Structure 1
Amino acid sequence: MSLLACLRGAKKGSASSVVVDSARGRHDLRIDGLSFAVGALAPIGQSVASSAFSVGGHRWRIKCYPNGNRADSAGHVSVYLALDEEPAAGEEVTAVFEFALLAERRAAFFLKKSKEVQSRPPLRHSFTSQQRNFGYRTFAKRDALVKLPGADKGDSFVVRCQIVVINGFRTEDEEDGAPKSGANFVTVPPPDLHRHLGHLLDTKKGADVVFHVSGKTFAAHRFVLAARSPVFDAELFSGMKETDAAGVIRIADMEPGVFKALLRFVYSDSLPEMKKGEEDAMCQHLLVAADRYGIERLKLMCEENLCNYITVHTAAIILTLAEQHNCSGLKRACLDFLKAPANLRAVVASDGFEHLSTSCPSIKKDLLDALAS
């Protein structure tokens, strides 16, 4: 009997498959609704560009023209993907990409709800040194966008680009005719530690420290607090914080709602929902609390969100807050807002400017000098 005949009944074998060697990515370009509302004033061909982002080892940008990139696309929003680098002579960078335009509405306490209002089929293009931009000249009608609710208020639009960069092909080994991957058999759920810790805060199970804040009491777990805040760590484990006879820690200079939101963030790394219209005030208080307890991520989240609430009525107050709590990004956002002479004049005449004058005299002088120039 031949060797092949002897082995004919064996099931074991090997295989390989040719697959596309690719890299995927996504980038969002957020544009406030007012920018679209005044888009008709923008010259045809004037664009705004996203920051650079990397996919597949190449650098890209989204380019958006609020009033069209050419005369025949005036009145439309033009959207392009741009290769933000110079390919070598003869080199091609091939990508499959698609755009979607989302209307983003601010909901309760900085939560944002997005709704897709425009999308187009995916495009495939080989980017070269001669043609590094490709996209849609008439992606969406501008007039239709500015009629959407919130387009002239604090809401925004998001130009979302999904991109797959195709680098070529590669060969993968298989076992018994199937790819070597556990992804086909096992689904790993997303992290849920925040949910379990949030439940621990709600049930107070195992709580070993109590805070009294302006008439309200809050039970918590000192190890969780210490892990999240260096200030809580020092206060709870080195005896820096004084307690009363019942072992309760009293905090007199903070609103109960602010401390409750602070605790929620400590346990869940997220902020609770708030009543509409209270978001900016709560964020100011939380920024102060985050700075006090050394919770840097919460402080930066508040700083980022306050950038969306800078108006002629709030700029002086927010600028004071930014200066007092060393929020460099928020300070730059305020000063950028005040570059407009009309905004600067209105802020100098506002009630908040008096508080800014006494709290931050150096900034007051700079603003008055800018107004006089």
Structure 2
Amino acid sequence: MVGDHNWVVKYYPNGNDKPGYISVYLVLDSSGDEGVKAKVTFSILDKGGEPVPSYIKVAPEHVFPFSGSDWGFGDFIKHEDLEGSVHLGGDSFRIKCDVAVKKIRSEETHANQFVVVPPSNLHRQLGDLLKSKDGADVAFRVGGKIFSAHRSVLAARSPVFKAELFGAMREKSGDPIEIDDIEADVFKSLLHFIYTDSLPETTHEGTDEGATQEDIATAGHLLVAADRYDIARLKLICEEILCNHIDSSMVATSLVLAEQHNYHGLKEACFEFLASPSNLEAMIASDGYQHLKTSCPSLLRELIARLLPVELTAAKDIIRDI
């Protein structure tokens, strides 16, 4: 029960009117109720019970006119996307449904039919501000390129930028701030996310469609940049992209990245991928394997111990201690 109303969720594993998709709908299930305004959010949960950013769908606010009326998504997620996701375990997955309710009077229902409130376009306006450079008061030199930005926006989005731009670490001169360990394209994507809370259109956020090896590599670099500037949501989005695009050629590199920066979700996804003997053999033959051996030998020992049968507990302990 939410807002003194009963609700149920309709789930169509083969789609309601969208073949190839899973459909989900929220249904008002309180007899006699009418004119109930509600906003519903459906999200797929990861193994830790947290919503996966790339699989969150928010439906526009809707008036449920009577009991039995529904509202939701006929195209919640494609079958192929779900089947290839690390969040599908043992042929099962979890969906969370968040409902926010506001009961309205019948006269309000009638009046609201003549008023259409558009969705927020703040992200577009801030994106335009970044592009126009209007009022920019800080500049960065990255890979020979100059990027202009606004101190207040950066500080509001990143505690690291806040310390660098307004704290004791702030730059005293008006010269561009030099950043040497981030590529220019990665820094450009970082700024885009800071202003718009989304990745550039060239990066396929959390999807399996159309992502190139370059997109995936960029997500790895952007993950490190997000970690450096402590932008939590961007870190999760990039980590999710890498989790959804693990293959034999890149899994060793992803494992090193996960170990060196403590990305637990990515590490577990790589271990799950390498549980397949064929994937493990292909990883050993990849270019990244030697780097994994030399940079993270303890991680290899942990992997071997994880792959041993459960009954060989003593052997696992010995391997971890080597």
Partners in 1 of 2:71 and 2:171 — Cα distance? 59
Gaps of at least 5 residues in structure 2 are 15-19, 31-66, 86-94, 98-102, 204-210, 310-322
Alignment CA distance shift 1:313-1:97 (3 Å): same
Alignment CA distance shift 1:95-1:267 (3 Å): closer
1:310-325 to structure 2, matched below 5 A, reads 310-325=246-261
Q: 1:295 aligns with which of 231, 238, 259?
A: 231
Residue 341 of structure 1 contacts residue 371 of structure 1 at CA under 8 Å; is this kept in 2?
no
For the residue of structure 2 that corresponds to 1:218, the secondary structure is strand
Q: What's the offset of the Cα at 1:338?
A: 1.2
Tell me the residue number matched to 1:274. 202
Paired residues, number: 241
Q: What's the offset of the Cα at 1:100?
A: 4.8
Residue 261 of structure 1 contacts residue 272 of structure 1 at CA under 8 Å; is this kept in 2?
yes
Matched, 1:309 2:245: yes
Q: 1:260 aligns with which of 188, 211, 221?
A: 188
Residue 287 of structure 1 contacts residue 302 of structure 1 at CA under 8 Å; is this kept in 2?
yes
Residue 319 of structure 1 contacts residue 334 of structure 1 at CA under 8 Å; is this kept in 2?
yes
1:198-237 to structure 2, matched below 5 A, reads 198-237=127-166
Q: What's the offset of the Cα at 1:190?
A: 0.3
* Deviation digits for residues 234-274 of structure 1 (CA, Å, limit 9, x no counterpart): 0000141546x542200011110000000000001111133
Alignment CA distance shift 1:234-1:22 (3 Å): same
* Deviation digits for residues 121-152 of structure 1 (CA, Å, limit 9, x no counterpart): xxxxxxxxxxxxxxxxxxxxxxxx99xxx9x9
For the residue of structure 1 that corresponds to 2:178, the secondary structure is strand
Residue 315 of structure 1 contacts residue 347 of structure 1 at CA under 8 Å; is this kept in 2?
yes
Larger strand fraction of residues: 1
1:1-373 to structure 2, matched below 5 A, reads 23=7, 100=74, 174=106, 178=107, 182-242=111-171, 246-274=174-202, 277=212, 278-369=214-305
- Percent sequence identity over matched residues? 48
Gaps of at least 5 residues in structure 1 are 1-20, 31-35, 37-48, 59-92, 105-144, 155-160, 164-170
Q: What's the offset of the Cα at 1:22?
A: 7.0
Runs of 4+ in structure 1 deviating by more than 3 angstroms, as ranges, are 21-30, 52-58, 93-104, 171-174, 178-182, 368-373
Tell me the residue number matched to 1:71. none
Alignment CA distance shift 1:284-1:181 (3 Å): same
Q: What's the offset of the Cα at 1:185?
A: 2.3
Considering only CA atoms, is the larger Rg found in Structure 1 or Structure 2?
Answer: 1
Q: What's the offset of the Cα at 1:229?
A: 0.2
Residue 357 of structure 1 contacts residue 364 of structure 1 at CA under 8 Å; is this kept in 2?
yes
Larger helix fraction of residues: 2
Partners in 1 of 2:71 and 2:25 — Cα distance? 14
Alignment CA distance shift 1:185-1:99 (3 Å): closer
Partners in 1 of 2:110 and 2:71 — Cα distance? 27
Alignment CA distance shift 1:220-1:354 (3 Å): same
For the residue of structure 2 that corresponds to 1:211, the secondary structure is strand
Partners in 2 of 1:370 and 1:22 — Cα distance? 45
Partners in 2 of 1:27 and 1:225 — Cα distance? 41
Alignment CA distance shift 1:56-1:366 (3 Å): farther
Partners in 2 of 1:351 and 1:190 — Cα distance? 47
Alignment CA distance shift 1:206-1:94 (3 Å): closer
For the residue of structure 1 that corresponds to 2:177, the secondary structure is strand
